[in-house]
Amino acid sequence: MTAGQGCPRFPHIHADLVTFVAEDDIWLAPVAGGRAWRLTADRVRVYSPCFSPDGSRIAWAAQRDGAREVWVTPTEGGPARRLSHWGDPDTAVLGWTAAGEAPAGRMSRTLTWAHALPLDGGPARELP
């Protein structure tokens, strides 16, 4: 385990739940305290989990298949679905749109692009 790997990182709160990263996986826990449970078990670097506006899904970036991509899964658990196929090591989840799409960014040394990723697997839409 690397330094800081077991410490909760990237917390995001929705209603009475908090999601965070620890031990290279995504966890959920009651905001009021209590036992946390592991949502993913990939043991790969994950970044910035973020609840959907209705709290039914969590999107995050992970190096699951090599380069960092955007993934989504139901809050109740289940298989994760890959939403991006950019192969960009700087891909990041930026939150959610009002329409329920997962906005994600790709970065270079001088530019950043934001895209809305539809949950149905449709093509990404570049945001202004």
Distance CA 68, CA 78 (A): 20
Give the CATH number of domain 9-126: 2.120.10.60
In terms of Cα–Cα distance, which of 17, 22, 51, 19 is closest to 32?
17
Distance CA 63, CA 80 (A): 13
Residue 4 has pLDDT above 60, yes or no: no
Exposure string for 62-75, b = 16+ CB within 10 A, e = fewer: bbbeeebbbbbbeb
* pLDDT tens-digit readout, 30-86: 999 999 999 999 889 999 999 999 999 999 999 988 889 999 999 999 999 999 998
Give the distance, in angstroms, between the CA of residue 80 and the centroid of all CA atoms in the same chain: 10
For the question of whether the overall pTM of this predicted structure is more than 0.85, the answer is: yes
Residue 5 has pLDDT above 60, yes or no: no
- Where are the chain's structural domains? 9-126
